[in-house]
Chains A and B, each alone.
Chain A
Amino acid sequence: MTVTNVASAGGVPDVGGLWTVLAAGDKLQAPSIEYGKLSPTLIVLGVAALGVLIEAFAPRKSRYGAQLSVSLLGLAAAFAAVIGLAASGAGTTRAQIAGMGALAVDGPALFLQGTLLLVGIVGVVTFAERRLEPSAAGSRVDAFAAQPASVPGGEGERQAVKAGWTTTEVFPLLMFAIGGMLLFPAANDLLLLFVALEVFSLPLYLLCALARRRRLLSQEAAVKYFLLGAFSSAFLLFGTALLYGYAGTVGYSGIARVVSGSDAVSDPVLAQTAGNDALLLIGGALVVMGLLFKVGAVPFHMWTPDVYQGAPTPVTGFMAAATKVAAFGALLRLLYVVLPGLSWDWRPVMWGVAILTMLAGAVVAITQTDVKRLLAYSSIAHAGFLLAGVIATSKSGVSSVLFYLAAYSFVTLGAFAVVTLVRDAGGEATHLSKWAGLGRRSPLLAAVFAIFLLAFAGIPLTSGFAGKFAVFKAAAEGGAGALVVVGVIASAIAAFFYLRVIVLMFFSEPQADGPSVAVPSVMTTSAIAVGVVVTVVLGVAPQYFLDLAGHAGVFVR
């Protein structure tokens, strides 16, 4: 009604005129976007959208090839963009906050985005493996359900399996997840952090439900992951609200300025809450907890084993590697940029979380009998080791965590890729008893898996040692000597169950009806090969990469 009155009173003829008035009144600014600086994320999200279009319009037969090539090209282009940005100094001297304060383009962001893109490339490759499952109805099938929407064991599923269908929507889903993950460690704004979290989490929930074999387990895993993920998202969102109440802004830099006292909150609406330390502490803790859920730290780790076990193994591998990279990136930025002024408050709590995570992950892993659950608990223990580096609150702490993430993610990808190869009639043979004597039957594969296990255990000459050493060194220099002691004890406990698998593979008699090792296509082979090469290179000659991570260790504020 008001508008109508204005129009009649002022004689302005139409609604279009209203826009003109508003624009003239300078009330609405067009956002300025640094497209070049944000190009890696934009490319990946664009390719994801393109994947949806391919899924909608391309003929079924050509979708696999098209999706695979588009995804790989997109990731490669995005990686090239990251390299270009890094080469132009965007990671060091010309680091800046882009996208109207929403996104940081700095060393840690670029390092993690580069890592994520490489992980993504390997992930796409393992998703595209079509040699392992026995072919159905004359066509090769992959690890994903023929018709995800059908009831497990139902008629629709039976027909879909019989028809040998495959689904290619996993590729755009994966690309959306990668896009969200690229945003996550770069987010410089709590709202964008939340959006990025959902952008990468939702596709992962879906992907977890897509296993071709053991459908019920897979769907259960997806539901659990979704429920608990939603719960943790609520934590994060609630924490965001509290922090807004405290600081009157959701931008990282703005909150940091209020925390340090250099800015005062001027908004009269927030007069009741602004500057209330309880809001700051609870809000900060809740946001951190949302991230701790994603990294799988105790006590927010319970989803990890169930989801890792139920999800299709290529998804598990990707998720275990990439989620950890993205979430630790976001956690680092949050703690180092927003909450450094509170480090006296959060450090003791994080100490406790790190110790619990290291010990619980290592101890519970001892009694695991399923290789995927074993690796899940191992990933929990590694989250604890990484937290030790986070707590260091120093430049070397940041760079050690960056290096550790890069090293760990390739070991994880390789290890889960190996898991996809050991199969019996029921699909992957993940029960450890079936791995007995694998070293006699397939010495090469067992040796490769042994390398990954040694890297997990942090034995010298593998990337795991270099990473763990860097993290513990940073933690010790940061005054967390006791934490390092606990870390070393946890490593010793963890070494037990890693070595136990090696002993099982090489020194036990093979079972008579044991699993066979499938011969993979070039896809999984190259994924495993990349894992081995990275593991050995980062283990034998880590210095270049440590330097690289060291240069990337400064956040833009």
Chain B
Amino acid sequence: MIGLLVGVPLFGAAVLLVGGRRLDRGGHWLATLLAAVSFVIGAVLFASMLGEDADARAMHSKWFSWVPVEGFQADVAFQLDQLSMTFVLLITGVGTLIHLYSVGYMEHDPRRRRFFAYLNLFLAAMLLLVLADNYLLLYVGWEGVGLASYLLIGFWQHKPSAATAAKKAFLVNRVGDAGLAIAVFLMFTTFGSFAFAPVLSSAGEASEGKLTAIGLMLLLAACGKSAQVPLQSWLGDAMEGPTPVSALIHAATMVTAGVYLITRSGAIFDGAPDAQLVVVTVGAVTLLFGAIVGCAKDDIKKALAGSTMSQIGYMVLAAGLGPIGYAFAIMHLVTHGFFKAGLFLGAGSVMHGMNDEVDMRRYGGLRKYMPVTFVTFGLGYLAIIGFPGLSGFFSKDQIIEAAFAKGGTQGWILGAVTLLGAAITAYYMTRVMLMTFFGEERWRRAPTPSPAQPDVEPAAETRGEHAVPDPHESPKIMTIPMIVLAFGSVFAGGIFKAGDSFVNWLEPVTRFEHGHSPVSATAVTTATIVALLLGVGAAYLQYGRKPVPALAPRGGLLTRAARRDLLQDDFNHVVLVSGGTHLTRSLVYVDNKLVDGAVNGTAAAFGGLSGRLRRLQNGFARSYAVSMFGGAAVLIAATLLMRAV
């Protein structure tokens, strides 16, 4: 039954890829149906799980033994506990909605069947990732989602930018994947196994140094997959993929795999406070980093990508707090899955109605033309900024509270960062909202850079001219998933919070401790709301009261840096690319001079020897006979000599 969860979408991917053009007509419905089937299976399992006692809910099922060697047991076995269940429902639920949305979004794409095959492949790999009962199988799923992500980012492979973005995502993820691989190796040498149960139950017996090493490697893996500093650079470019992909993979599910990994490996991090500190730091830095980048982007998808980075920063921070934060990390992950997927689908819907324009400076006043998109997007917006009563409010508030509860100076710093993040979140999301749905209808006039204003953002000019778009609402098949997600954005947080049901649900897996916050819960909530209001107000003053220029002004130093993703690519280029180039150049030099010299010298020596020996073969039978005779004499002499010695 658990294996079916993985098997059903995998079967779909195989059928669609092998079936060929015959499935072009109906393949997308098959993929959507199979996604829905796996959601139903997940729901049935969930129902049966609810019937059990809290401690007896985890299910195991071993499919077969992959490498049955003594001392090295690699099983293909699944573990379905409350944590996995949460992910299964999120992945299959949101996944099904996005399949449905894609039916409309990709309607005119000639390679639609392939797109749906990759989507199904992604579902299978992601489910394998969260259902694996050991780190090795998790690694298989981890690589599988990486593959699906690569294929889907570069889905429009005719665009060089998409191909480059896919390659970039793949390369950056390799760094993280190497971390995971090393972590698995370390686990095997430390614990003699990589199955969750033995590793996590005996984590306390290992030395802190080893746990720290494993933890840091796991964190590296999480940074790659979840776009955390310093491996964050690929996420913005990944928006080159079709928008449903951005919603499903690069917002709701795959990028949260790092949070899953850290939460799942909680026992390891609990024994390694240094690693936890690094986790928290990474989360806090990314939280601000993503938020600042999100403020400066004019591309609606890239602004949302910055936001995703920032929100995952919240989750990683919460996961780094230990048992006081795990449950909140996952809770924020789920609510974020709803509202961020909804926001991306809304962005896709806007683009759909605007001739695939992504520059928000050429939007404006769209609320009249796309009412459903406006309302669903608006609800997602309210949820993400943490408007009281909506999903994001509950989940984010809990994290901020837990951050203060970390205690000491660290607690204060983390609390301040999370509050600051909340304010910036409110700012950039309000900016997106205002630039897209309110204000002047800037798309009516073609933007022409005025010669008197030479200091505009140069990238804006190169986008070329578009015909004046005709904004319209998207078809039902696209709006319905948005509406469903909007419901989630509004109510999920409240449901989870009511009676601490979510925390209690996860408690057997992630454990839970109440933090002792130096500030009262009411104070935190108040501060959060104040931060929210400050952010919204600032954005309103800047983008609501004044007209938005259709071409981006040059902006201050920070703005320009933020537009360039806070110079992440420049940093990578200077430090890694040119550093790597220098390293390889010097290695090539050594290789040419020393290694090749030795090799070529040997080859030349053998070649010369060969040429000389060859001359012995002169073609005269008499010489051959002499050589035989001489050889015979030598051999006989040698034989006799052996006896004499």
Residues on A facing B (Cβ under 8 Å): 223-224, 227-228, 231-232, 235, 277-278, 281-282, 284-286, 289, 293, 298-300, 302-303, 305-306, 344-346, 348-349, 352-353, 360, 363-368, 493, 496
Since A231-B625, A299-B628 are in contact, a sample of 14 more A-B pairs with Cβ atoms closer than 8 Å, ordered by chain A residue number, is A223-B621, A278-B640, A282-B639, A289-B632, A299-B634, A305-B617, A306-B617, A306-B619, A346-B639, A348-B638, A363-B606, A367-B611, A493-B606, A496-B603
Which A residues are in CB contact (< 8 Å) with B631?
A: 289, 298-300
Interface secondary structure of B, over-half rule: helix
Which A residues are in CB contact (< 8 Å) with B632?
A: 235, 285-286, 289
Which A residues are in CB contact (< 8 Å) with B634?
A: 299
**Partner of A282 from B621, B624, B628, B636 at Cβ < 8 Å:** B636
Which B residues are in CB contact (< 8 Å) with A235?
A: 632
Which B residues are in CB contact (< 8 Å) with A298?
A: 631
A–B Cβ pairs within 8 angstroms, 26 of them:
A224-B624, A227-B621, A232-B628, A281-B639, A282-B639, A285-B636, A289-B631, A299-B628, A299-B630, A302-B616, A302-B623, A302-B627, A302-B628, A303-B624, A305-B617, A345-B639, A345-B643, A346-B639, A348-B638, A348-B642, A349-B638, A364-B610, A364-B614, A364-B617, A365-B610, A367-B614
Q: Are A299 and B627 in contact (CB under 8 A)?
A: yes
Is B607 an interface residue when CB atoms closer than 8 A count as contact?
yes
Interface secondary structure of A, over-half rule: helix
In the complex, residue of chain B having the shortest beta-carbon distance to the beta carbon of A293: B628
Which A residues are in CB contact (< 8 Å) with B619?
A: 306
Q: Are B625 and A228 in contact (CB under 8 A)?
A: yes
Is B541 an interface residue when CB atoms closer than 8 A count as contact?
no
Which B residues are in CB contact (< 8 Å) with A305?
A: 617
Is B609 an interface residue when CB atoms closer than 8 A count as contact?
yes
Is B613 an interface residue when CB atoms closer than 8 A count as contact?
yes
Which A residues are in CB contact (< 8 Å) with B583?
A: none
Are A360 and B639 CB-contacts (below 8 A) given A293-B628, A302-B624, A496-B603?
no
Q: Are A363 and B621 in contact (CB under 8 A)?
A: no
Is B594 an interface residue when CB atoms closer than 8 A count as contact?
no
Q: Are B610 and A366 in contact (CB under 8 A)?
A: yes
In the complex, residue of chain B having the shortest beta-carbon distance to the beta carbon of A298: B631
Q: Are A228 and B624 in contact (CB under 8 A)?
A: yes
In the complex, residue of chain B having the shortest beta-carbon distance to the beta carbon of A290: B632
**What's the Cα separation between A360 and B610 when bound, in Å?**
8
Is B519 an interface residue when CB atoms closer than 8 A count as contact?
no
- Kindly provide the distance from the CB of B335 to the nearest chain A CB, expressed in whole angstroms: 54
Is B595 an interface residue when CB atoms closer than 8 A count as contact?
no
**What's the Cα separation between A282 and B607 when bound, in Å?**
37
Which B residues are in CB contact (< 8 Å) with A363?
A: 606, 609-610, 613
- Kindly provide the distance from the CB of A20 to the nearest chain B CB, expressed in whole angstroms: 51
Q: Are A227 and B617 in contact (CB under 8 A)?
A: no
Which B residues are in CB contact (< 8 Å) with A346?
A: 639
Is B575 an interface residue when CB atoms closer than 8 A count as contact?
no
**What's the Cα separation between A348 and B640 when bound, in Å?**
11
Is B14 an interface residue when CB atoms closer than 8 A count as contact?
no
In the complex, residue of chain A having the shortest beta-carbon distance to the beta carbon of B618: A302
Q: Are A352 and B638 in contact (CB under 8 A)?
A: yes
Q: Are A227 and B625 in contact (CB under 8 A)?
A: yes
Are A282 and B617 CB-contacts (below 8 A) given A363-B610, A364-B610, A493-B606?
no
In the complex, residue of chain A having the shortest beta-carbon distance to the beta carbon of B611: A367
**What's the Cα separation between A235 and B635 when bound, in Å?**
13
**What's the Cα separation between A227 and B610 when bound, in Å?**
26
For B632, B636, B642, the residue with the greatest tally of chain A CB atoms inside 10 Å of its CB is: B632
**What's the Cα separation between A298 and B634 when bound, in Å?**
12
- Kindly provide the distance from the CB of B513 to the nearest chain A CB, expressed in whole angstroms: 56
In the complex, residue of chain A having the shortest beta-carbon distance to the beta carbon of B609: A363
Residues on B facing A (Cβ under 8 Å): 603, 606-607, 609-611, 613-614, 616-617, 619, 621, 623-625, 627-628, 630-632, 634-636, 638-640, 642-643
**What's the Cα separation between A300 and B606 when bound, in Å?**
22
- Kindly provide the distance from the CB of B508 to the nearest chain A CB, expressed in whole angstroms: 50
Which B residues are in CB contact (< 8 Å) with A232?
A: 628
**Partner of B617 from A300, A302, A345 at Cβ < 8 Å:** A302
For B614, B635, B636, the residue with the greatest tally of chain A CB atoms inside 10 Å of its CB is: B635
Top-9 shortest CB links A-B = A299-B631, A302-B624, A366-B610, A367-B610, A224-B621, A363-B610, A285-B639, A364-B613, A285-B636
**What's the Cα separation between A537 and B642 when bound, in Å?**
43
Q: Are B607 and A366 in contact (CB under 8 A)?
A: yes
For B603, B628, B636, the residue with the greatest tally of chain A CB atoms inside 10 Å of its CB is: B628
- Kindly provide the distance from the CB of A442 to the nearest chain B CB, expressed in whole angstroms: 29
- Kindly provide the distance from the CB of B617 to the nearest chain A CB, expressed in whole angstroms: 6
Which B residues are in CB contact (< 8 Å) with A300?
A: 628, 631
- Kindly provide the distance from the CB of B613 to the nearest chain A CB, expressed in whole angstroms: 5
**What's the Cα separation between A360 and B606 when bound, in Å?**
10
**What's the Cα separation between A352 and B635 when bound, in Å?**
9
**What's the Cα separation between A219 and B627 when bound, in Å?**
22
In the complex, residue of chain A having the shortest beta-carbon distance to the beta carbon of B605: A363
- Kindly provide the distance from the CB of A154 to the nearest chain B CB, expressed in whole angstroms: 23
Which B residues are in CB contact (< 8 Å) with A293?
A: 628
Which A residues are in CB contact (< 8 Å) with B628?
A: 228, 231-232, 293, 299-300, 302
Which B residues are in CB contact (< 8 Å) with A366?
A: 606-607, 610
**What's the Cα separation between A227 and B621 when bound, in Å?**
8
Are A228 and B642 CB-contacts (below 8 A) given A299-B628, A363-B606, A364-B610?
no
In the complex, residue of chain B having the shortest beta-carbon distance to the beta carbon of A300: B628
Q: Are A349 and B642 in contact (CB under 8 A)?
A: yes
Are A360 and B642 CB-contacts (below 8 A) given A231-B625, A306-B619, A353-B635?
no
In the complex, residue of chain B having the shortest beta-carbon distance to the beta carbon of A230: B625
In the complex, residue of chain A having the shortest beta-carbon distance to the beta carbon of B613: A364
Are A289 and B635 CB-contacts (below 8 A) given A306-B619, A363-B613, A364-B614?
yes
- Kindly provide the distance from the CB of A394 to the nearest chain B CB, expressed in whole angstroms: 20
Q: Are B636 and A360 in contact (CB under 8 A)?
A: no
Which B residues are in CB contact (< 8 Å) with A278?
A: 640
Which A residues are in CB contact (< 8 Å) with B603?
A: 496
**What's the Cα separation between A117 and B617 when bound, in Å?**
33
**What's the Cα separation between A300 and B638 when bound, in Å?**
16
**What's the Cα separation between A368 and B610 when bound, in Å?**
9
- Kindly provide the distance from the CB of B217 to the nearest chain A CB, expressed in whole angstroms: 33
- Kindly provide the distance from the CB of A369 to the nearest chain B CB, expressed in whole angstroms: 10
In the complex, residue of chain B having the shortest beta-carbon distance to the beta carbon of A232: B628
In the complex, residue of chain B having the shortest beta-carbon distance to the beta carbon of A278: B640
**What's the Cα separation between A293 and B632 when bound, in Å?**
11
**What's the Cα separation between A223 and B614 when bound, in Å?**
21
Which A residues are in CB contact (< 8 Å) with B613?
A: 360, 363-364
- Kindly provide the distance from the CB of A71 to the nearest chain B CB, expressed in whole angstroms: 32
- Kindly provide the distance from the CB of B633 to the nearest chain A CB, expressed in whole angstroms: 10
In the complex, residue of chain A having the shortest beta-carbon distance to the beta carbon of B628: A300
In the complex, residue of chain A having the shortest beta-carbon distance to the beta carbon of B607: A366
**What's the Cα separation between A124 and B643 when bound, in Å?**
46
- Kindly provide the distance from the CB of A176 to the nearest chain B CB, expressed in whole angstroms: 25
**What's the Cα separation between A306 and B636 when bound, in Å?**
26
Which A residues are in CB contact (< 8 Å) with B635?
A: 285, 289, 349, 353
Which B residues are in CB contact (< 8 Å) with A289?
A: 631-632, 635
- Kindly provide the distance from the CB of B413 to the nearest chain A CB, expressed in whole angstroms: 58
**What's the Cα separation between A295 and B411 when bound, in Å?**
83
In the complex, residue of chain A having the shortest beta-carbon distance to the beta carbon of B623: A302
**What's the Cα separation between A366 and B623 when bound, in Å?**
22
Which B residues are in CB contact (< 8 Å) with A303?
A: 624
Which B residues are in CB contact (< 8 Å) with A281?
A: 636, 639-640, 643
In the complex, residue of chain B having the shortest beta-carbon distance to the beta carbon of A344: B642
**What's the Cα separation between A232 and B625 when bound, in Å?**
9
**What's the Cα separation between A368 and B634 when bound, in Å?**
28
Which A residues are in CB contact (< 8 Å) with B639?
A: 281-282, 284-285, 345-346, 349
Which A residues are in CB contact (< 8 Å) with B643?
A: 277, 281, 345
For A227, A282, A366, the residue with the greatest tally of chain B CB atoms inside 10 Å of its CB is: A366
- Kindly provide the distance from the CB of A427 to the nearest chain B CB, expressed in whole angstroms: 21
Which A residues are in CB contact (< 8 Å) with B625?
A: 227-228, 231
**What's the Cα separation between A176 and B638 when bound, in Å?**
37
**What's the Cα separation between A349 and B640 when bound, in Å?**
10
